Homo-oligomer: A and B are copies of this chain.
Amino acid sequence: MSSSKVTINEVARQAGVSIATVSRFLSNPFSVKEKNRKKLEKVIKKLHYQPFVYARKLAGGKLGVYGLIIPGYEGIFNSFYALELIKGVGFSLERKNIDLYLHIFWTKDRFNISLVDGVIFADVIANQEQLKRILKEKLPCVVINKKVEELDVSFVAVDNFRGAYQATEYLITQRHKRIAHLAGDLRVQCAQERIEGYKSALIENKIKVSDKYIKVANFSYLEARRCLEELFDTSSPPTAVFAASDEMAEEVLNFANRYKIKIPEQLSVIGFDDNPLCIQGEIKLSTVRQPLKEMASLGVDVLKEQIEKKKENIKRLVLSPQLIIRESVAPFKRS
């Protein structure tokens, strides 16, 4: 099987030092004298020695592998959000020479915690069963994109309320009054927060909140289509739509195109995410940019700190989204 396995013993022998020295060299090269350091560098290179992570972990060392846990809900891989997160975490770890163990909960939510040094938990949907287990086992952990106030755990999240508020407020400054909202999956915290932000903006601007303008489309373009049919099949259709994701917002554009509704002249649209999709089509979509890369990279930093300095220093970061105005919004004009 594993052919000519090069072990720390062989390295030690060829370098003429003890295995302890090799081990120390590996974890901190400057803890061995220059002469030995040079020698070890050479031997390790020559033998293509790679430490055996199992033995290392078994002996109480670090694995050099961080886990990223994300939910495997249908459509996860059409979800800009998840992919951007994976990419962000992946890049960030690679720069730190740490391996990424990406765990997706497809159907079962079993996760073998011994596979990693710590986890970034992005499973925003699932019940907190797994998260609690991880915490109970004292595995270093950072939650991403969810403000888990009720548990003793670090998190890095985005201020979804504020993003939604800003988007809605902007539509109001453009004199829109009948503003609809295409909401995301209600099991997801950020979808809830976006609804709240939307409502707050209306209320503070003395516009009545009406349930018939709030449609739950579960972040799905297909459901968005259905919702739009309902939304526009009334005597007072909205003059603006704020969607909780760009994919749903894009569907508004498609819908408008089909029914010859002019955008932005007859209907204004704002999305959420800043998906490349926004600038792909004919009409460039205005949106709320989520700092996903920053969130991922901060998540990695917080986790690394927690793993290395063993002190349990809980950090809670909330990042600000940014409203990006493009072509899909125009001031309301009585037609």
CB within 8 Å of B: which residues of A? Answer: 1-3, 50, 52-55, 57-58, 64-65, 72, 77-78, 83-84, 86-87, 90-91, 94, 99-104, 106-108, 112-115, 136-139, 221, 254, 257-258, 276, 280-282, 310
Contacts and interface: CB of A to CB of B under 8 A. Distances in A.
Contacts of A112: 50, 53, 64, 99
A54 B58 CA distance: 6
> How often does this chain occur in the complex, in copies?
2
A87 B281 CA distance: 28
Nearest to A280: B221
Contact of A65 (B52, B113, B115, B276): B115
Contacts of A86: 77
5 contacts: A2-B137, A78-B83, A90-B104, A94-B108, A102-B102
Given A77-B83, A99-B115, A72 B53 contact: no
Given A54-B57, A99-B112, 7 more contacts: A3-B136, A50-B114, A58-B58, A78-B276, A99-B103, A101-B115, A221-B280
Contacts of A108: 94
Contacts of A100: 102-104
Given A91-B106, A94-B107, A99-B103, A114 B54 contact: yes
